[in-house]
Amino acid sequence: MTAWQPYGQMRAASVQRQAEALATGSAAGTPRDGLTPLRATPGTAPASVTAIPCAQCGRAFPPAAVIPIQGQWICAGCRPLALQALSEALGSAATRRYAGFWIRCAAKLIDGATLFVLNLVVGYGIQSAFAALGSAAGAGTMLTFVGVGVALLVQLVIGLCYTVFFLGRFAATPGKMACGLLVVRADGSAVTYPRAAARHLADFLSGLTLCIGYLMAAFDLEKRALHDHICDTRVIQR
Ligand SMILES: [Zn+2]
């Protein structure tokens, strides 16, 4: 082990696993089987304690009558409720539905079409403005080329702002919203603006690898594309 732990904590963890197995698995109905009550609270109570308060109801019990659930001592009476809460917490991760390759393709197409129209209008505006400036100043070709470059830069920034704003604010771009998709972290928490920006840049990598980065989503256990791997994100169905 990289970090040594007191035996008490290790033992608590093993009982915790048994409790989780009880909560989620087949043995949900059978009481206490395989659960060895601890004689000491890991790290807190000395071995000589005669009573441990239940974290749920607050009444004191002999050490043999309480079990640790989620790091708290729970009495036999409160155990079903505590285990139910635990299994619900575990279940939310287990029942999460990852969005597959094709639905993500559809979302990408919608976003692509939206950005295409937006970029077309903006690009046309910028380029014709530069061309007009050029012909007025008598340096037409030069300024037209500059206009193309400026338009390209602005379009890149628009793409970045589009993704960062919608992912950071709503956890989904309009295309993903339309397809009922959400971008979350591995633990289900929201994607921050900086992470959304990083994901947008990593998205280019997925495209640069002949789209193999996107294709990875079709084969990954959690349906992660390359940019999801890089930024530790998951795309899930609402
Ligand atoms: Zn209790």
Q: What is the pTM of this model?
A: 0.59
pLDDT bucket at 31, cuts 50 / 70 / 90? very low
Higher pLDDT, 202 or 142: 202
Bridge partners, residue 69, by sequence:
72
Higher pLDDT, 48 or 40: 48
pLDDT bucket at 23, cuts 50 / 70 / 90? low
Cα of 82 to ligand 1 centre, how many Å? 9
Give the percent of the chain with pLDDT over 70. Answer: 84
pLDDT on residue 26: 41
pLDDT on residue 32: 42
pLDDT on residue 7: 75
200 and 160 Cβ atoms separated by less than 8 Å: yes
- The SS3 call for residue 61 is strand
> How confident is the prediction for the chain on average, in pLDDT?
83
Cα of 23 to ligand 1 centre, how many Å? 17
227 and 87 Cβ atoms separated by less than 8 Å: no
User: What string of DSSP letters covers 114-166?
Assistant: HHHHHHHHHHHHHHHHHHHHHHHHT-HHHHHHHHHHHHHHHHHHHHHHHHHHH
pLDDT on residue 71: 78
Cα of 5 to ligand 1 centre, how many Å? 28
| Structure-block tokens of residue 213 | 């980065």
Structural domain boundaries of the chain? 7-94, 101-237
104 burial via Cβ count (<10 Å: 0-12, 13-18, 19+):
buried
Cα of 54 to ligand 1 centre, how many Å? 5
Higher pLDDT, 69 or 206: 206
Cα of 180 to ligand 1 centre, how many Å? 41
Cα of 56 to ligand 1 centre, how many Å? 5
Maximum Cα interatomic distance, the chain, rounded to a whole number of Å: 95
Ion ligand 1: residue ranges with CB closer than 5 A: 54, 56-57, 75, 78
pLDDT in tens, 169-187: 999 999 999 999 999 998 7
pLDDT on residue 187: 79
Cα of 24 to ligand 1 centre, how many Å? 21
Cα of 91 to ligand 1 centre, how many Å? 23
